[in-house]
Chains A and B, each alone.
Chain A
Amino acid sequence: MAAKLGSGTRNKLYRTTWLALLALTVVMLLVDRSSLPRVAFLAVVLVAMLMKASLIGANFMHLRWERLPLTLMVIVGLLVTGAILFGLIAPDAVRISAMRP
């Protein structure tokens, strides 16, 4: 549990997480202004987005200290639903887009 950490260690972790989140945001903004190819841009911002989400979930929401079933209940449920939702509708959207004159 997070409560078992010393206050110094915990504050350091929060500070590091905050700085990492800010650094990732700056990277995303810089990539947005650069002239990277679209695929490379998407790869960088999507990976940075997932890294930010993981940092917030693990360190700020203390999921890394919770029991595994609770952590899995949260992460797997949302990730799988999101993946199924998008996986099922994206091909259809691409198909409709291609049908346009």
Chain B
Amino acid sequence: MAEAAQQMLDRWGGGVCPFEAGWRKVMMWVFIITDGLLFAGFLGGYGYARIMSTRWPDQAMVFDLRLIALMTFILISSSATMASAVGGTSHARRAITLRWLLLTALGGLLFLGMQAYEWTHLIEGGARLDGNPWGDPLFASYFFLMTGFHGTHVALGVVLLTTVAIRWAKRLASHDGVELVGLYWHFVDLVWVFIFTLFYLV
């Protein structure tokens, strides 16, 4: 383990604390920027299709906005519990941090469950990657593309959160480990803010 960490440090080949942030955190930020650009590309493509389309369906007719609002509420709340988990580590209250981490993972699981329900409902209603009964075929294409990629991020986040929680309980994870998974999780919440507004509301 220590050897692998040293190897990574050698590969970095620079200072260990650029911008006083810790090199791992800087690398996480680089990942977040590139991942953010991916979603910016999706949203840009969606914007193009949306403005160009004359047959974009009225979202209120397709989606149950109460369910989407609940999903948003859960994801925002899980971001708050994640922030509390990161905050708790600096005071070394292990049990409290563990509780917040598990609560965050639970929020992610609930979100995924509701998304699975939403996908099933829409697929049963006739939504396909290349068409849908409500209007422009690109509507369903972009729906599956954006919520699919976001949902995959949530699923990966739940795996990471669970891993870090187990490592934290076994005293193998440090404050940095919790903070890194926290950054990732907040990013997933941040992406949802844009998808919720631009795809479901606008």
Residues of B within 8 A of A81 (CB): 37, 40
B34-75 Cβ-contact flags toward A at 8 Å (1 or 0): 001100110110011111111000000000010001001100
A28 nearest in chain B by CB position: B201
Task: Say yes or no: is B165 at the interface (Cβ < 8 Å to chain A).
Answer: no
Binds A, one of B7-15, B124-132, B186-194: B186-194
Q: Which residue of B lies closest to A83 (CB)?
A: B40
- Give the chain B neighbours of A45 by CB distance below 8 A: 197, 201-202
Whether A78 lies near B33 (C-beta < 8 A) is yes
Contact A32 B87 (CB under 8 A): no
Contact: B19 with A60, CB < 8 Å? no
For B51, give its contact among A3, A11, A90 (CB under 8 Å): A90
Residue of A nearest to B184 (CB): A61
Contact in complex: B87, A85 (CB < 8 Å) = no
Indicate whether A7 sits within 8 Å of B91 (C-beta atoms), given known contacts A14-B83, A22-B76.
yes
Contact among B40, B53, B83 with A60 in the assembled complex (CB-CB below 8 Å): B83
The residue in B40, B54, B183 that gathers the most chain A C-beta atoms within 10 A of its C-beta is: B40
Contact status of A90 and B19, CB under 8 A, knowing A78-B36, A85-B40: no
Which secondary structure dominates chain A's binding surface? helix
How distant is A18 from chain B, measured CB to nearest CB, in Å? 4
Q: How far is the CB of A61 from chain B (nearest CB, A)?
A: 5
> In the complex the two chains form, is B65's CB within 8 Å of A14's CB?
no
Q: Check B201–A78 contact: CB distance below 8 A.
A: no
Q: Is the CB of B41 within 8 A of A49?
A: no
Nearest Cβ on chain B to A99's Cβ, whole angstroms = 10
Q: Is the CB of A17 within 8 A of B80?
A: yes
CB distance from B148 to the nearest CB of A (A): 21
Q: Which residues in A have their C-beta under 8 angstroms from that of B36?
A: 78
- When the two chains form the complex, which single residue of B19, B29, B73, B186 contacts A22, counting CB atoms closer than 8 Å? B73
A39 to chain B, nearest CB (A): 12
Given contacts A28-B201, A49-B197, A97-B52, contact A86 B44 (CB under 8 A): yes
Is B47's CB under 8 angstroms from A10's CB?
Answer: no
Can you list 5 residue pairs at the A/B interface with Cβ under 8 Å? A1-B20, A25-B69, A69-B19, A85-B40, A93-B47
Q: List A residues at the B interface (Cβ < 8 Å).
A: 1-3, 7, 10-11, 14-15, 17-18, 21-22, 25, 28-29, 32, 42, 45-46, 48-49, 52-53, 56-57, 59-61, 66-67, 69-70, 73-74, 77-78, 81-82, 85-86, 89-90, 92-94, 96-97, 100
Beyond the given A14-B84, A17-B80, A77-B33, could you list 8 further A-B residue pairs with CB under 8 A, ordered by the A residue number? A7-B91, A22-B73, A28-B201, A56-B79, A66-B19, A66-B21, A93-B47, A97-B52
